[in-house]
Amino acid sequence: MKIFLIGYRCTGKTTLGKILAHRLNFDFIDTDLLIEQSLGLTIRKIIEKQGWEKFRQIEKKTLLNTKKSNNTIIATGGGIIIDQDNQLFIKKNGLCVWLDADIKTIMTRLNTDNKTKTIRPALTNKDLFEETNEIVKKRNPLYKKIAHIKIDTSFNTPEEIVNIIDRRLKDVRL
């Protein structure tokens, strides 16, 4: 079984993925980290050097390489759902959990996370608040389309959220 974690930046995919993997005794894969390790560059540097289109190709290849993984939690990049092939792959190859948070929570996390300034590339030419609002509105219908489960990560601790996910997983195992 594979569990894909999708959602916008700072909704908890990596943090919760690690805790959930430990809880279920699953392996954990972070697709962005895998890309960074394989190329020896941060996502921001990859995009600066090769552009968004090339990054999305690398991201897709990385996702498809998880096909044979079993008993694995896979934290994906926030934009992985932009590609329709990725949507189909995630929907058909595991259980998809959409981690969602309200804009205020996302902004607080983005503004207090060091990775925002050093690793995360800008998605638009707008300021961070406008960009976040715009991209979340565009992506939410895509997240909704492929998710088997939606979890709000705005208010509870990571451990509480993992408890909620674990309970919900028991109801929808494929």
With contact defined as beta carbons under 8 Å apart, do 79 and 130 qualify?
no
Q: How confident is the model at residue 83 (pLDDT cuts 50, 70, 90)?
A: very high
Joined together, the tokens standing for residue 86 give 């990725």
| Segment 21-31, tens digit of pLDDT | 999 999 999 99
Q: What is the pLDDT of residue 116?
A: 65
Average predicted confidence (pLDDT) for the chain? 92
Residues 6 or more apart in contact with residue 51 via CB below 8 angstroms:
none
Q: Which CATH architecture has domain 2-155?
A: 3-Layer(aba) Sandwich (3.40)
With contact defined as beta carbons under 8 Å apart, do 93 and 29 qualify?
no
Q: What is the pLDDT of residue 117?
A: 65
Q: So where are the chain's domains?
A: 2-155
| Segment 127-170, tens digit of pLDDT | 888 988 999 999 999 999 999 999 999 999 999 999 999 999 88
